[in-house]
Amino acid sequence: MSRKKTYAPVAYDASGHDAGPQPLEGEAGQRSTIGTDVLTYEQLDELGRELDAIRQRVLDDLGQADADYIRRVIKVQRAFEVLGRVGIFMPFFWPAFLAGVAFLALAKILENMEIGHNVMHGQYDWMNDPALDGVTYEWDIVAPAQDWKHSHNHVHHTYTNIHGMDRDIGYDLLRIDDGQKWYPNHRFNLPLAFVLMLIFEWGVMSHGVEYGDYRAGRISKEEFEGQKQRAWRKIRRQVVKDFVAYPALALPLIPFVGWWAPLAVMGGNLVANVIRNIWSFLIIFCGHFPADVQSFEEEAAKGENRGQWYLRQMLGSANISGSKLFHVMSGNLSHQVEHHLFPDIPARRYPHIAPEVREIAQRYGLQYNSGRFGKQLLSVARQLAVYGRKPDDPYMVGNSPESKALRRAKREEEARRREAEKAATMAA
């Protein structure tokens, strides 16, 4: 008995997926000024059309090769993970133990970056495979998928590098851009960044819980409580796995190896997690914070057209050049520019379209940020050091008397405006 659907469309058609975020809205008719210093609105429209065409061409071409690729990556990841767990289980033979730590770290890197991050962008939704479904996928890191997707896919990818909107600029902790106000804790930019690097997965998790936003009244109590609860549940599962369950499996080793066998397993897992933290931190910081990357003001971004949105993504990201293996291990986020232009097409396609994007950038006279890993890393470190110093301009210092006066003036003006509005409605 055939049960025909009354409809033709396929479950997750990639061509219609994530058709592009809504632009920020300003006053009626307000047009964004982004990119207008180098291009006219007509040119920006044309830029949008050209990039849209690339995206559509790739989406139309998705098929077996992309499915085979991600399945192969998953197979390798699973094999690495099993090898890692087995190796760490042999603390009595240190070469196997060290190899185990390395394999587990590689497995976690692959799972988080090339699989988890990309799947949760919806890059493989078109396959309609429940195991690769961006909505339900959960990754091997303490940050719960749902809240990460909100702060990453929605906030960071839509309002990329807009001050006050993209919370990924400095992660509310570091001063990495001259548009950010300076506070005394930024003196410790470099050491803070170093600590964040070691515990990066916890940073990502707390970023998604949005405690600061709750304290500032930007999100409701219910929202905050939900995020907190999900985070706790995920933390428990991750901690139980790596620091309770696997060490407990090593208890029978004690008579043969010594009392420290479970502790060695625990330590091996910890080191693997930290290696993953360091690697993902470095890739992400090199993708957004080298000196050449631009940031934007909220007011200028209001009323963007498609081309301006693309332009902001392009100028707000930086690529890292490297070998094929390097690209895979970075989840192809070494092609941060292409990823930000087209976050929902399978990442393995980024290297293929990169030459075209670079050519377009050249033709329009736009900067296409790219550099070796070492160069980008050095640039990020220099940025952290430079912006950690107290600026001469008192208005850039967050708690200077001048800044405080400015904020007070703004508050008072806002209050006056509201009074006037109230009076006007009363009169009416």
Partner 1 sequence: MGVIRRMLASKAVGSLTSPHSIDHYLEHVHPMLTVSEVRARVVRVIRETGDASTVVLRPNGAWRGFVPGQHVQFGVEVEGKRRVRVFSVSSSQANRDGTFSVSVKAHPDGYVSQFLHTGLAPRTIVHLSQAEGEFVLPDVVPDPLLLLSGGSGITPVMSMIRTLRDRQHRGDVTFLHYARSRDDEMFTAELDALADAGVRVVRVYTRQPAPGAELAGRFHVDHLKHLGIDAADTLTYVCGPAGLIASVRDTYAELGAAEQLRAEYFKVPSVDLDAADATGTLTFDTTGTEAENSGATILEQAEAAGLSPAYGCRMGVCNTCAVKKLHGAVRHVVSGEVCASTDETIKVCVNVPVGDVAVAL
What token pair was written down for 79?
């094999």
68 makes contact with partner 1 (CB under 8 A): yes
Distances (CA, A) of 294 to 124, 177, 297, 312, 367: 30, 9, 10, 8, 10
Binding region for partner 1 (CB under 8 A) out of 21-29, 123-131, 151-159, 353-361: 123-131
Q: How far is the CB of 18 from partner 1 (least distance, A)?
A: 9
Cβ proximity to partner 1: between 49 and 75 the closer is 75
Cα 315–Cα 120–Cα 172 angle in degrees, nearest 5: 55
Cβ proximity to partner 1: between 138 and 359 the closer is 138
How many residues bind partner 1 (CB under 8 A)? The answer is: 44
6 makes contact with partner 1 (CB under 8 A): yes
222 makes contact with partner 1 (CB under 8 A): no
Residue 66 carries which side chain, given as an amino acid letter?
Answer: D
Cβ proximity to partner 1: between 66 and 168 the closer is 66
Nearest to 424 by CA among 26, 414, 416: 416
22 makes contact with partner 1 (CB under 8 A): no
Distance CA 95, CA 99 (A): 6
Distance CA 179, CA 182 (A): 9
First to last CA, the chain: 68
The H or E element that residue 306 is part of is: helix 306-315
Residues 316/395, Cβ–Cβ less than 8 Å? no
Binding region for partner 1 (CB under 8 A) out of 97-105, 135-143, 187-195, 265-273: 135-143
Q: How far is the CB of 2 from partner 1 (least distance, A)?
A: 4
Q: How far is the CB of 103 from partner 1 (least distance, A)?
A: 15
Q: How far is the CB of 153 from partner 1 (least distance, A)?
A: 15
Quick one: which of 57, 75, 218, 404 contacts partner 1 (CB under 8 A)?
75
Quick one: which of 25, 138, 393, 412 contacts partner 1 (CB under 8 A)?
138
Q: Binding marks (x or -) toward partner 1, 318..357, rule CB under 8 A?
A: ----------------------------------------
Instruction: Name which of residues 228 to 267 contact partner 1 (CB under 8 A).
Output: 234, 237-238, 240-241, 245-246, 249
Binding region for partner 1 (CB under 8 A) out of 56-64, 98-106, 359-367, 414-422: 56-64
221 makes contact with partner 1 (CB under 8 A): no
Quick one: which of 32, 66, 110, 276 contacts partner 1 (CB under 8 A)?
66
SS (H, E, C) 337-393: HHHHHCCCCCHHHHHHHHHHHHHHHHHCCCCCCEEEHHHHHHHHHHHHHHHHCCCCC
Distances (CA, A) of 268 to 25, 82, 255, 263: 50, 14, 20, 8
Q: What is the sign of the dihedral through the CA atoms of 281, 145, 347 and 162? A: negative
Residues 294/337, Cβ–Cβ less than 8 Å? no
128 makes contact with partner 1 (CB under 8 A): yes
Cβ proximity to partner 1: between 75 and 404 the closer is 75
393 makes contact with partner 1 (CB under 8 A): no
2 makes contact with partner 1 (CB under 8 A): yes
What CA dihedral angle connects 405, 409, 415 and 416, to 10 degrees? 150
Q: How far is the CB of 223 from partner 1 (least distance, A)?
A: 14
Cβ proximity to partner 1: between 8 and 424 the closer is 8
**Tokens 């196997």 map to which residue?**
96
Binding region for partner 1 (CB under 8 A) out of 3-11, 51-59, 95-103, 204-212: 3-11
What CA dihedral angle connects 104, 109, 115 and 116, to 10 degrees? 100
Quick one: which of 27, 29, 42, 64 contacts partner 1 (CB under 8 A)?
64
127 makes contact with partner 1 (CB under 8 A): yes
What token pair was written down for 66?
């992309």
What token pair was written down for 162?
């807009």
**Tokens 């930024």 map to which residue?**
186
Q: How far is the CB of 245 from partner 1 (least distance, A)?
A: 5
**Cβ-count burial of 371 within 10 angstroms (0-12 exposed, 13-18 middle, 19+ buried)?**
middle
Q: How far is the CB of 82 from partner 1 (least distance, A)?
A: 7
Residues forming the site for partner 1 (CB under 8 A): 1-13, 16-17, 62-68, 74-75, 78-79, 82, 126-129, 131, 135, 138-140, 234, 237-238, 240-241, 245-246, 249
